[in-house]
Each structure stands twice: as C-alpha cells, then as structure tokens.
C-alpha cells in the first residue's frame, strides 16, 4: 500500500514584534561597542596633537637658535599647494612681520600642517621676538624683554597659567571651530567664550586679544582646544646652552 506523501509543516517566520526586538538588541550592542571606540579615537588623536605641539615648540626653539628670532606667522587663507603656503610671511621694510597672528609656518619649520582633526595650528608671536635682525639675535633676546602673550585657565576670572610668552600655538580641537583648514577657509566661530578667545580674527591676521585659554578638555562644554607655548625662560636657557647668550 502506497503512502501519501506527508505534507511539510510550514516554517514559522518572525513576527514584526520579534524583528523589532532583535533590531533593538543589535543597536544596543553596536552602540556599546562604538562608544568606547569613539573614546579611544579621541584619546589617540589628542595624544597625537599634543605630540605635534611639543614638536612645534622644539622647531620654534631651533629656529630661534639659528636665526636669532622666531618666524613670522604664515598666511592662514592660503590654500595648501598654492605658492607660499606654509612659509613664514615676508618682513616689511622695517624688519617687522606684517602680522603677529596667523598659522604655524609648517613648511619653514618642517612640522605638520594640521592637527589630528585636520585644522591648521594657529600661531601668535610677540612682534619684538620676530623682528628681522642681523646676526646673532633680536634685541628682545638680550634685553630681558617679556613677551606680550598670556595663557589663563579661563577668559573671565581664570588663573594665570603662563605669562609674558614670546609665542603661543593653538589646536582648535575635534570640533575645529575657529580654526583654518587646508583650503585656507575658517570654520565657524567657537561655541563658548574661551574657545572664541583662542581663534583668529580679521581674515586670519589678528586675534581678539593677547590672552589665550588652556584648561582641561571638556568637549561637553564646547571647549576642546589644545594650547602650547614657549616660555621665555626655556628660550633663554636654550640660547645660553648653545652660546648665543652670555
């Protein structure tokens, strides 16, 4: 006797509710994985930028030892690859920099053009320390001239972190606000007053004042700048060490 073929039991698919639950679980798992990854990336990029700032400081000190002055700022609005990009600006007939503010002259110094987030480093120099001079050095190095730049922990009511500085260098952090990119274009203004205090004005040739803000990074507050500088004491010590100062 031949048996009739058994009818296959239809497989039961997922309901919309079950699919929704699965998608929620997957989203939670991915979110839990991506958050630590983003934190790790931020830590790595911050460390890379701080290393750049340390290298820039050494390059500035080396330039000062060789030339007896600091370099003029490079033009912030010149796009990468265009003639003159990354070179220190030419001095005027009186031996002065055309502007005390701009971006780090990365070609002149042989340092990275941008921070880890792709924005150029803002650079401000005390004019007396960047005057073109005959060897061996600017008079400011000899006369004990103090720099005109200060770094505080906040724009309003902040404590002094470092004062009388010849030069200050700023990375505008992960949000890049106030910084210039490789195309020579400035990103939107900073989100908070401390960040605004660190950015360039007047098409990248000036700054609001001579006070910069360096404090613990707090991206949640909108402030994520990294600030470096050359203390005058280190400059003098380096010059003495190579016999350029008595």
Count Cβ neighbours within 10 Å for each residue of 32-51 and write b for 16 or more, e otherwise. eeeeeeeeeebeebbeebee
The residue that leads in pLDDT, 146 or 26, is 146
Q: Could you tell me the CA-to-CA distances from 168 to 83, 88, 215, 232, 243 in Å, in that order? A: 26, 15, 14, 11, 25
The angle subtended at Cα 167 by Cα 206 and Cα 243, nearest 5°, is 145
120-138: pLDDT as tens digits: 999 999 999 999 988 888 8
Give this prediction's pTM.
0.84
User: Which one, of 196, 154, 158, lies nearest residue 175 by Cα?
Assistant: 196
Task: Name the residue with tokens 């050494």.
Answer: 58
pLDDT in tens, 184-226: 999 999 889 999 999 999 999 999 899 999 987 776 778 999 9
Q: How does pLDDT run across 47-105, given as a tens digit for each residue?
A: 999 999 999 999 999 999 999 999 999 999 999 999 999 999 999 999 999 999 999 99
Of residues 158, 127, 142, the one with CA closest to residue 246: 142
For residues 128 and 140, is the Cβ–Cβ distance under 8 A?
yes
Give the Å distances, CA to CA, from 110 to 52, 173, 200, 231.
11, 21, 22, 21
CA of 160: how far to CAs of 88, 90, 136, 145, 224, in Å? Answer: 30, 33, 33, 19, 19
């Amino acid at each position: 006797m031949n048996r009739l073929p058994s009818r296959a039991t239809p497989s039961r698919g997922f309901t919309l509710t079950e699919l929704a639950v699965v998608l929620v679980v997957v989203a939670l798992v991915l979110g839990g994985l991506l958050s630590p990854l983003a934190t790790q990336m931020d830590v790595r990029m911050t460390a890379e930028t701080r290393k750049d700032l340390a290298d820039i400081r050494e390059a500035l000190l080396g330039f000062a030892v060789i030339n007896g002055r600091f370099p003029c700022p490079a033009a912030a609005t010149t796009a990468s690859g265009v003639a003159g990009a990354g070179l220190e600006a030419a001095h005027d007939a009186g031996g002065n920099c055309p502007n005390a503010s701009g971006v780090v002259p990365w070609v002149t110094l042989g340092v990275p053009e941008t921070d880890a987030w792709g924005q150029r480093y803002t650079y401000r120099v005390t004019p007396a320390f960047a005057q073109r001079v005959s060897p061996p050095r600017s008079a400011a190095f000899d006369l004990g001239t103090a720099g005109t730049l200060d770094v505080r922990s906040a724009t309003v009511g902040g404590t002094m972190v470092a004062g009388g500085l010849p030069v200050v260098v700023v990375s505008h952090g992960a949000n890049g606000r106030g910084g210039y990119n490789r195309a020579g274009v400035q990103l939107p203004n900073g989100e908070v007053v401390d960040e605004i205090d660190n950015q360039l004005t007047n098409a990248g040739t000036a700054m609001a004042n001579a006070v910069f803000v360096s404090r613990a990074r707090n991206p949640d507050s909108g402030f994520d700048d990294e600030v470096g500088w050359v203390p005058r004491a280190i400059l003098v010590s380096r010059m003495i060490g190579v016999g350029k100062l008595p």
